[in-house]
Structure 1
């Protein structure tokens, strides 16, 4: 590290936190990560890494690691009606034709990010319980009695963020009215399943998504179904396999055949928040789900947190200790509009996928016509946008 390098604490070592830590370290910033769990781990199943974030990971030397643990998702990916009739291709490339899409198990992705980061800079067993700041530094206290003093604090502590309360008024979770059953099936149990593609079936208030992970050895599925019960924001609540099978029993035959091989499933209560009007207070800012929790219907939760990480690293690399508050505001000003568009777009896509249309032909036309929006997502370069904004300050 350089002699005048700022000191940064990242609170939370999920995908967004570890992406930020690696991006900051890549720019020679003195960064440490603090995680409340006693050891690293990631629940859930698959996540799609799309071109807009893969290009950023590639630049800090992690693209190969993602490819090594993931499964390429490409040509042949399709949207269908519940009866199996084809609606449109799923876009898996950016406008240049580069296929930068991988299905990755969340644990594998977190492992790749953690393996690239120096172990001595990652501190588990640190649950944040307090935050203070003055004009020259910020302090974070933990339940183990430790206190750290740094130049900048990055809240990457998820949808239930403790640090959000120091930035914005509390916001209630917005219930989507649906839950997602999710899990994995070994590919060897379904040798007839097509390799290397993503498939999404849509029906009345339900949709079903499938794509490969872990080098194609596992098939990741997510079944979205309506729920009128108040659920928890959980990735790991145990679901009932028979209930899941009944929800899709009459759908296109590959789905019941796949679900016949499922022995265990988890469910996830789907919530987001209204977009925040601010992410930053002095030397504290947020990224990922702490700043912009979103529904999974665009597959952008992890990808937007990686974009956050890249942009944040650009602004902080150009800041000395006294310039941190200004740098964090510049990061927020760049990122907040885009992530709001993605949050709201994910909500709209959920309504689209779940067939809230009297005329399904209208819905199908919207799906087929979504390529420009997907291209807007996938073509974006968060690092280049941050460098341009920095040059214009």
Structure 2
């Protein structure tokens, strides 16, 4: 390890990935998480090729593949069960052979296990940070401070650290919420295709299902309109009866999947307007703290993983006095990329829920969006390596 000391706030996907990537590049990084334990929250997450490429390089690919859902193909259908791009679909959120469909809790645990035990500190709630000439002092609720050369805020859409580097922006709703849930595979035997990521597109709403936990569970995400201020949370309780009513008249397969659910929870869908900057001299942001994105391209976690690798490569070999310039490079590389993904994710959501587009037009427009964000070809490490030697 170099003499550089990095404190990462938040043990989500982005924070843990950042610590692993930093340590792989010779930098001493420690993650501080306010929770006293890493709970297996009931939510699925898809790690596409742009994310899996990074995680394979960091040595956690085999462990993640073991707990991934066995997806071999995609299905995109209208709400009345008409295929919009053939079956198996010519559309995809990433090459299924290189995409992992994961239970978030299992994913988080694999990443945590890849760190030395002393590199993850639980029960440490960050309450502030003060920059000074030689670094940054991080303040915690327990009264015990930590001094570091660099502080990375990976503390989510409601980031406490965002205001340290930029004028905070408020979460923005697109008038959509999601019902989420997990169903044991045995309850949807003969109903759901447990080797597919399946999406149904309908007027003003959509429905997504894919297997996680090595095929033991089916993950459900049902996007519906709302004029309520729904919490940006994976644990707010929902009502299965209300969910079923929202999809009455849809493809009978959708109704049968909902009938197999015992419980659901509600998830408010938000992103943020882009920040003017992500970094100060000794503090920077990563993932949703910097660029929250709606989930319609499955790119939220993937963009945080790209951030993690980009930042780690750009900090390789840096001395403390070089940090401000290295952070500028990181910001310059990532702001354009994540801004494009945010705008295209919103556009994809509008196409899914269109009341006007014919299925063929939906397929064509979605393909153009997927091509534009280069899910299968973007290589965050290579982009950062090139920037490191050419700047």
- For this structure pair, what is the TM-score category when the shorter chain's length is used for normalisation? over 0.9
- Secondary structure of the 1:280 match is coil
Contact 1:74–1:101, Cα closer than 8 Å, also in 2: no
Q: Counterpart of 2:132? A: 134
Match of residue 186, structure 2, among 168, 183, 188: 188
> When the two structures are superposed, what TM-score results if normalisation uses the length of structure 1?
0.95
How much has 1:255 moved relative to structure 2? Answer: 0.6
Q: Counterpart of 2:79? A: 82
Separation in 2 of the partners of 1:246 and 1:336? 41
Q: Counterpart of 1:245? A: 244
Q: Counterpart of 1:29? A: 27
Q: Counterpart of 1:326? A: 325
How much has 1:298 moved relative to structure 2? Answer: 0.5
Once the two structures are overlaid, the 10-residue window that deviates more, 23-32 or 8-17, is: 23-32
Q: Counterpart of 1:288? A: 287
Give 5+ residue unaligned stretches, structure 2. Answer: none
Q: Counterpart of 2:44? A: 46
> When the two structures are superposed, what TM-score results if normalisation uses the length of structure 2?
0.95
- For 1:117-266, what aligned pairs fall within 5 Å after superposition? 117-192=115-190, 193-266=192-265
How much has 1:228 moved relative to structure 2? Answer: 1.2
Once the two structures are overlaid, the 10-residue window that deviates more, 169-178 or 102-111, is: 169-178
Q: Would the alpha carbon gap of residues 215 and 360 (structure 1) be closer, same or farther in structure 2, given more than 3 Å must change?
A: closer
How much has 1:297 moved relative to structure 2? Answer: 0.3
Separation in 2 of the partners of 1:271 and 1:338? 19
Q: Would the alpha carbon gap of residues 360 and 72 (structure 1) be closer, same or farther in structure 2, given more than 3 Å must change?
A: closer
How much has 1:93 moved relative to structure 2? Answer: 4.5
How much has 1:70 moved relative to structure 2? Answer: 1.0
Give 5+ residue unaligned stretches, structure 1. Answer: none
Separation in 2 of the partners of 1:317 and 1:356? 49
CA RMSD of aligned residues (A): 1.5
How much has 1:275 moved relative to structure 2? Answer: 1.2
- Secondary structure of the 1:325 match is helix
Contact 1:87–1:367, Cα closer than 8 Å, also in 2: no
- Secondary structure of the 2:375 match is helix
How much has 1:290 moved relative to structure 2? Answer: 0.2
Contact 1:237–1:266, Cα closer than 8 Å, also in 2: yes
